[in-house]
Amino acid sequence: MAQDPNACAGGCVKADVKSEQLPTIEKAPTGIQGLDEITYGGLPKGRPTLLCGSAGCGKTLFSMTFLYNGAVQFDEPGVFIAFEEQPGDLIKNVGSLSYDVERLIAEKKLAIDHVHIERNEIEESGDYDLEGLFIRLGFAIDSIGAKRVVIDTIETLFGGLDNPAILRAELRRLFEWLKEKGVTAIITGERGDGTLTRHGLEEYVSDCVILLDNRVVDQLATRRMRIVKYRGSAHGTNEYPFIIDEEGITVMPITSTGLSHDASTERITSGIADLDAMLEGKGFYRGSSILISGMAGSGKSTTSAHFADAACRRGERCIYFAMEESPTQIIRNMRAIGLDLQRWVDKGLLKFSAKRPSLFGLETHLASMHRDVELFDPSSVVVDPISALLGAGVTGDVQSMILRLVDFLKARAITAFFTNLTHGKTENATTDIAISSLMDAWLLLYNRESNGEHNRELYLLKARGIAHSNQVREFLITSEGIKLRDVYVGPEGVLTGSARIQQEAKEAAERLLRDQDATRRAREIERRRRQIAAQIEVLQAQLAGEEEEAGMLEGEATAREQRLAKDRAQLALNRSASRQDNQEKGR
């Protein structure tokens, strides 16, 4: 018997549940960098959003950016109803953001209407209602087919109403009318004393509430944003800094991206061949965070310039965030060591962003860096020096900022090079903002005093995932760039600079004396060898003469013996013949 696929282990039958798409609210993207990210898509489409904040926090510019981006990027015309500013003033104010509002008005993609309301004309009794506003606003919406509406500000519209019941009813009526028109609306409101708005009612009838704040801490102002509520949608709940400049509005999500970024195995050069040799000859990992710390004048900026130059030589883009020197000064100084950074600037591969730390707060610095990275899309970033940020905040805040910056760069696989000013002795091996543990590699430059002079040394304290040298190198800044040399380590310790040169000269002189002594001994041995060889030759000649004399004597003796034997034989023969003659005579 076939088993029912819906039957469970206990004999029960599972319900046949059909997966249906649950209804969710639609969202209208704002086009504001960062805001769409923390709202997970934008503002609630077809619903009103309350944008509240104190004076100077950017409510009007924020609202106009919402309309401008809607018309330009998303083809959604918009209407701006102003109760305080004239249309001409609004157009001039947003001109600093490079918004061509007049063109959009001519193309019927944007309409600006000013409604003048006097407080003494508003009465709580009688036939007071919003019909006049609805007619005027409805005509503006229908004339251009608007999908977005801004009402700035709601306090002017309801400034004469003190009865909370009437105020709440009219607010609800306004919001319901906007929903019926199907427009995505932003209504600005001024922040009250202890409440989000002056009346303290608008936030309760709004579907989405965004709070803007311009906070001053230690004489440094930072604009921040917080999504107070968002009906029917998840959203970021932190405070997010944002900046307003010539590029528009940029909101920076400060929530860390976590530790889920990819780790590349590609190696890139540091721009210093001798330093690469200390890293297996391959350099650092791409996407890593590198810290170089050292005392003043130890060569941190020079090392950073080599790193930026190497990135541009690979045809990659690099941003140099300078906090103590101007771009022209950096370019001029680097020419003295053979680096021409101007050519990379001219080719669009190198961008300088120079700002004093005291210009604005830490969060604004971070938001500005985020925006620059997003627009320029570099593969490498230099921050020189991060210790200067201590002038814009306390240590804990600076550390938090650097942590978020490191996470942001790692998520984009950007190789970051940070410099940090240190104080005191090398043995301390700490940074003033305690960020060394966040870094993948740490170089320490140190000025060592000896023999009345300062000599630079380089320590490679750590390089995660890379087999690296643990040797100290003497750090030389020459007209041809940075050179690393082995330091002299001897009985008197580590010697650098002129002390090393003197020691090397002393050792060279000693080697010369040893070589000369060895040469002299070799010559003496050679002379003795030749003398002995001559004596041997004389003795051999004497021996040969004696051997020849002995041979001659032996030959003469042999000849005499032979002559004597011959004479004896002849004598014997003569005697025999004489005897025979005598015998014959006797016969």
Tell me the pLDDT band of 322, cut-offs 50, 70 and 90: very high
Tell me the pLDDT band of 19, cut-offs 50, 70 and 90: very low
pLDDT at 200 (0 to 100): 55
Question: Where is pLDDT greater, at 168 or 547?
Answer: 547
374 three-state secondary structure: helix
Residues 82 and 90: beta-carbon distance below 8 Å: yes
**Mean pLDDT across the stretch 197-223?**
75
Whether residue 370 has pLDDT greater than 70: yes
**The two structure tokens encoding residue 299:** 């060569």
Whether the CA torsion 300, 302, 307, 311 is positive or negative: it is: positive
Q: How far, in Å, CA of 114 to CA of 199, rounded?
A: 23
pLDDT at 339 (0 to 100): 92
Q: How far, in Å, CA of 123 to CA of 125, rounded?
A: 5
Structure-token match 């076939």, residue found: 2
- Angle in degrees, 0-180, between the axes of helices 164-181 and 131-144, rounded to the nearest 10: 20
**The two structure tokens encoding residue 373:** 């990275």
C-alpha dihedral, 96 to 392 to 308 to 311, nearest 10° = -70
Q: How far, in Å, CA of 45 to CA of 41, rounded?
A: 10
Please tell me the least confidently modeled range out of 344-348, 418-422, 500-504: 500-504
Q: What is the pLDDT of residues 411-449, one digit of tens each?
A: 889 999 999 888 655 445 455 556 778 889 999 888 777
pLDDT at 251 (0 to 100): 81
Q: How many residues does the chain have?
A: 587
Question: Where is pLDDT greater, at 548 or 166?
Answer: 548
| Residue partners of 234: CB distance under 8 A and separation at least 6 | 40
Q: How far, in Å, CA of 441 to CA of 249, rounded?
A: 35
**Mean pLDDT across the stretch 495-513?**
73
DSSP 503-522: HHHHHHHHHHHHHHHHHHHH
Whether the CA torsion 383, 388, 392, 395 is positive or negative: it is: positive
Whether residue 313 has pLDDT greater than 90: yes
Q: What are phi and psi of 352, to 5 degrees?
A: -100, 135
| Helix residue spans in 293-361 (DSSP H) | 300-313, 327-335, 342-346
Average confidence score pLDDT of the chain: 81
Residue 174 corresponds to which amino acid? L
Q: How far, in Å, CA of 445 to CA of 303, rounded?
A: 10
Whether residue 257 has pLDDT greater than 70: no
**The two structure tokens encoding residue 115:** 């409604």
Q: How far, in Å, CA of 278 to CA of 281, rounded?
A: 6
Q: What is the pLDDT of residues 379-415, one digit of tens each?
A: 999 998 888 887 666 677 787 788 888 888 988 899 9
Please tell me the least confidently modeled range out of 169-183, 293-307, 361-375, 386-400: 386-400
Percentage of residues in the chain having pLDDT higher than 70: 80
Q: How far, in Å, CA of 242 to CA of 29, rounded?
A: 17
Residues 506 and 497: beta-carbon distance below 8 Å: no
Q: How far, in Å, CA of 485 to CA of 476, rounded?
A: 8
Q: What are phi and psi of 176, to 5 degrees?
A: -65, -40
pLDDT at 10 (0 to 100): 42
pLDDT at 133 (0 to 100): 76
**Element spanning 449, H or E:** strand 441-450
- Count the alpha carbons within 13 Å of 544 in the hemisphere toward its beta carbon: 6
**Mean pLDDT across the stretch 532-561?**
86
Cβ count near 177 (within 10 Å): 18
Longest dimension (CA), the chain: 218
Please tell me the least confidently modeled range out of 133-137, 367-371, 515-519, 578-582: 578-582
Residue 214, judged by CB atoms within 10 A of its CB (0-12, 13-18, 19+), counts as: middle
Whether residue 221 has pLDDT greater than 50: yes
**Mean pLDDT across the stretch 165-189?**
83
Q: How far, in Å, CA of 506 to CA of 496, rounded?
A: 14
pLDDT at 342 (0 to 100): 94
Q: What is the pLDDT of residues 328-344, one digit of tens each?
A: 999 999 999 999 999 99
Q: What is the pLDDT of residues 95-154, one digit of tens each?
A: 878 888 899 999 999 999 888 766 555 444 444 556 777 888 888 888 999 999 999 877
Structure-token match 């509005």, residue found: 249
Tell me the C-alpha to C-alpha distance, in Å, between residue 349 and each of 270, 287, 317, 323, 389: 17, 18, 4, 20, 26
Whether the CA torsion 383, 386, 388, 394 is positive or negative: it is: positive
**The two structure tokens encoding residue 277:** 């040799």
Q: Does pTM top 0.75 for this prediction? A: no
Residues 236 and 39: beta-carbon distance below 8 Å: yes
**Mean pLDDT across the stretch 499-514?**
76
Q: What is the pLDDT of residues 28-71, one digit of tens each?
A: 999 987 888 889 899 999 999 989 888 888 888 899 999 999 99
Cβ count near 458 (within 10 Å): 26
Say if residue 385 is preceded by a cis peptide, omega within 30 of 0. yes
Tell me the C-alpha to C-alpha distance, in Å, between residue 443 and each of 161, 170, 429, 446, 473: 66, 65, 10, 10, 11
pLDDT at 418 (0 to 100): 92
Burial 151-163, CB ≥16 within 10 A → b, else e: bbbbbbbbbebee
**Mean pLDDT across the stretch 509-532?**
87
Say if residue 153 is preceded by a cis peptide, omega within 30 of 0. yes
pLDDT at 431 (0 to 100): 55
Residue 572, judged by CB atoms within 10 A of its CB (0-12, 13-18, 19+), counts as: exposed
Q: Quick one: residue 492, left, alpha or beta (phi over 0 = left, psi -120 to 50 = alpha)?
A: alpha
Whether residue 17 has pLDDT greater than 60: no
